[in-house]
Amino acid sequence: TILIHSERIKLPEQHLPHRVHITLSTHECTGLSERDINLASFIEQVAASLS
């Protein structure tokens, strides 16, 4: 679900083992972009739905 979403918004593939640690950054803006923040929000929603 997260991989599909990140592909849709054109972010690099994320590898998700049983324990998840994702670092988001965008080289274009040397930090976080709006797409990174949107993906982080989506990841939090998915994680909350699995709890």
Considering the entire predicted model, what is its pTM? 0.56
Q: What 3-state class would DSSP assign to 26?
A: strand
pLDDT in tens, 13-44: 656 556 677 777 777 887 788 888 998 999 89
Please state, in angstroms and rounded to a whole number, the distance separating the CA atoms of residues 47 and 41. 10
Rounded CA separation 32/25 (Å):
5
